[in-house]
Amino acid sequence: MAKINYIRLYPYGGGSNLALIQSLNRYSDHNGTVYTKTQLSQICSNCHTDFEKFKVKTATTVNLRIGINLVSFIRNFIIEDGTELMDLAEPTNGYSFQVTKTATKLNIPVVITSIETISHPFARIVPPLRIYANYIKHKATHFRVFTDKSKDYLEKLGIPPHKISKFPIGIDTDLFFPPPNKGEPDVKILFSRRLEQKNGILDLLRATKILNQKGYKLSLMIVGDGPLSQVVSSMSRFYPVRLFGQVSYHDLATIYRRADIYCNPAFDKEFMNMTYQEDGQYTFPLLESQASGLPLLTTQSGSNSEIVNYKNPIIPQHSLKALIDSLEYLMDMNIRREIGAENRKFILDNYDASRLQINSDRFYQGIIDRN
């Protein structure tokens, strides 16, 4: 298979980008450049920057100046570097709208990747999003999703099923793998998401406090930062809580092997009792923890039930009782070992990056060959 040059503009959070970059670097035969969420503003504010020095490049909000500079940069990149395909994030994204217009004029195929899972797309009623989605629906070459829930979302936007393909991003199972059997008496619970209220960190702190008061020997390991970092830091003075802050992707894999349970008590974003963003949009820590042989518990949201082995507890959102009950259930070492072993097999069978990246490369090659 000949090498192809393509660009991915993915304005998602850090976890998905890190997993994607790891998969590309280790297993892809093509020349893929990933532009993620934090630095594309540098591209957009100054198109004369030396972009070759950036391994990962990113984006923030859309305004007129950014739009003009992004289009200029993409045109130059396509013309000078021989880019053969653009992979963009979400049909409702302003960047995707602008780049699709540019790529279409230059006869470059566009793949739109979506992880959105909400059952009532706001893009059907909100004017800017509706404009983006309607244009991309007709101009994009093809659409890619990681889950069936995201496929349903795109179909509700009016995108024909024959233009949608399911190709998940996998996990590097050589980097995330189970440790030898642990012999420590205390149980280590891991949380590795942004420290903000919607990710359920306050509920997890309360549950940890209650379980310690019940006599369980457990500690909480927290990776990440955010607006609630100070709260977590304060609690660590009174309870067995360790805050790691931001860590590298390789160090994160090591921390997973030190844990016994992964916990994701997050909940959806709501406004006036209406959900406008589901949390379970292909949540990578759920895949990483299973690859590491950990049992986990997570909330019912989005595509979580698709990407999590059914043996793991999946609990209602905002239920402190269900959170505590599920953690108590996972205090049994034999249960943890059984579920952890099944989780590892689940990932090897369904989400191994070494296999999925080959399928992804063939998918891109097919799009270019048909264009």
Task: Clarify whether residues 135 and 262 are in a common domain.
Answer: no
* Tokens linked to 239: 């309870």
Any domain includes 330? yes
Q: What is the pTM of this model?
A: 0.86
Same domain? For 215 and 297 the reply is: yes
CA atoms within 13 A on the CB side of 276: 9
Q: What is the CATH number of the domain that holds 144?
A: 3.40.50.2000
Number of domains in the chain: 2
Residue 176 within any structural domain of the chain: no
Is there a domain that residue 177 lies in? no
* Residues of the domain holding 108: 5-170+352-370
Q: Please state, in angstroms and rounded to a whole number, the distance separating the CA atoms of residues 368 and 62.
A: 29
CA gap 24, 34 in Å, rounded: 9
Task: Spell out the per-residue pLDDT of the chain, length 371, in tens.
Answer: 455 566 666 655 555 566 666 666 676 666 666 655 444 545 444 433 333 333 333 333 333 334 455 666 666 666 666 678 888 888 988 878 888 888 888 888 999 999 988 877 666 677 788 889 999 999 999 999 999 999 999 999 999 999 999 989 889 999 999 988 766 778 999 999 989 888 999 999 999 999 999 999 999 999 999 999 988 888 878 778 899 998 988 999 999 999 999 999 998 877 667 776 777 788 899 999 999 999 999 999 989 999 999 999 999 999 999 999 999 999 999 999 999 999 999 999 999 998 888 888 888 888 888 87
Q: Residue 200 falls within a domain, yes or no?
A: yes
- Indicate whether 175 belongs to any domain: no
